[in-house]
Amino acid sequence: MEKVSIIIVNYRTADLTIECVKSILAADIKNILIEIIILDNASQDGSYERLASLFPTLAVVALEKNVGFAAGNNRGVEIATGEYVLFLNPDTVVKPGAIEALYAFAKRRPEAGAWGGRTLFADGSLNPTSVSAFVTMRSILYRAVGLSALLKKSPTFNPETYPGWQRDTERKVDILFFCFVLVRADIWRKLGGFDERFFMFCEDDDICWRMQRVGLDRLFSPEACIIHYGGASTPSRPNRIAMLLAARLMWLKLHWSPLAARTAWLIIQAGVFARMVANKTVGWGAHQTAVWEQVWAERAVWARFPN
């Protein structure tokens, strides 16, 4: 019987992590051995103590400092003993049968490098953010000028979100976001795991891009389904946007030509400035305006072109 090592990285989300782990334990998983590894990313809020006390039979590891999502998961794989590794966000609830379905999918489609499933919001509606297409110069431009937001259902102007697909069929995708993704441990180690230059965000884009370059598909199945609340470890929207933009620029620097990356960098900055000005001019709400004003004010951090 094969083993799946489940990696959960906690950062100040103990209540959600506890709910997540309890949902795994309650799922009564059969035909697979399960190993749960919880890493606390130096939360310093009592998270580690609570988790270690509640789950004494599980591997609960305290990291000395907050090394980020990518490095935290890498530390988990270092001690994992399973043939497969399941990366699971702490702000998720595993529905009965989800892990078995994802494992069965991987066994049926072994040509892939990673397998992911369907995510729902707490109310049961579709959370479409478990997959994405790779960014292109066109998609960056359309997002910057607002066309992707205005024409959300257009595959031409909003290609990154796979508009029109309800995540109800199996298919190959560019990016699986690692809130609920299964990978063979040997493949993961050959790839070198997540690039730890990504603290949070775009580490998924990066590992999926590297899988594509060595001929490994990323496959999605609607049969494996979880609840994903989303955004728990970065509740501040301006900070979340700034961190995402910084990670995006890092990804462009690593995988695009210098000229293309610099051009995209300028377009992204122009898009943020335009969003801020448009909100102030049209009056789309004080909250929205404040968000984009703060993001623009922090451009010295996120818009600094990576070295």
- Per-residue model confidence as pLDDT tens digits over 149-207: 899 999 999 999 999 999 999 999 999 999 999 999 999 999 999 999 999 899 999 99
Q: Does 125 share its domain with 9?
A: yes
Residue 141, in any domain of the structure = no
82-96, 151-165, 228-242, 262-276: least confident range? 228-242
For 81, list phi and psi in degrees, rounded to 5: -115, 5
Q: Does 15 share its domain with 72?
A: yes
So what's the pLDDT on residue 288? Answer: 67
So what's the pLDDT on residue 237? Answer: 82
Residue 143, in any domain of the structure = no
So what's the pLDDT on residue 152? Answer: 93
**Coil, strand or helix at 229:** coil
Our count of domains for the chain comes to: 2
So what's the pLDDT on residue 136? Answer: 96
Residue that finishes a domain, picked among 181, 203, 228: 228
- Taking only the tens place, the pLDDT of each residue in 272-281 is 888 888 777 7
pLDDT, the chain, mean:
92
Residues near 269 by beta carbon (within 8 Å), at least 6 away in sequence:
299, 303
Q: Cα–Cα distances in Å, from 282 out to 35, 37, 289?
A: 53, 49, 10
Residues, the chain: 307
- Taking only the tens place, the pLDDT of each residue in 15-37 is 999 999 999 999 989 889 999 99
So what's the pLDDT on residue 116? Answer: 98
- pTM of the model as a whole: 0.93
In the chain the first and final C-alpha atoms are separated, in Å, by 46
Residue 113, in any domain of the structure = yes
Q: Does 221 share its domain with 250?
A: no
- Taking only the tens place, the pLDDT of each residue in 129-146 is 999 999 999 999 999 988
Residue 146, in any domain of the structure = no
Residue that finishes a domain, picked among 192, 207, 228: 228
Q: Does 128 share its domain with 204?
A: yes
Over range 284-298, report the average pLDDT: 75
| CB 217, CB 172: distance < 8 Å | yes
- CATH code, 49: 3.90.550.10
Query: Is pLDDT of 4 > 80?
Result: yes
Q: Does 171 share its domain with 223?
A: yes
Q: Does 55 share its domain with 96?
A: yes
Give the span between the Cα atoms of 224 and 255, in whole angstroms: 31
Domain that holds residue 95: 3-135+162-228
- 285 HSE (CA, 13 A, CB side): 4
Q: Does 288 share its domain with 184?
A: no
Over range 242-270, report the average pLDDT: 94
Query: Is pLDDT of 224 > 70?
Result: yes
Q: Does 66 share its domain with 211?
A: yes
Q: Does 214 share its domain with 244?
A: no
Q: Does 108 share its domain with 44?
A: yes
Closest CA relative to residue 180, chosen from 32, 11, 13, 20: 20
Give the span between the Cα atoms of 240 and 234, in whole angstroms: 6
- Taking only the tens place, the pLDDT of each residue in 91-108 is 999 999 999 999 999 999
Residue that finishes a domain, picked among 194, 228, 262: 228
Residue 155, in any domain of the structure = no
Count the helix, strand and coil residues of the chain and give each as a percent rounded to the nearest 5: 45, 20, 35
To which H or E segment does residue 115 belong?
A: strand 112-120
Q: Does 42 share its domain with 89?
A: yes
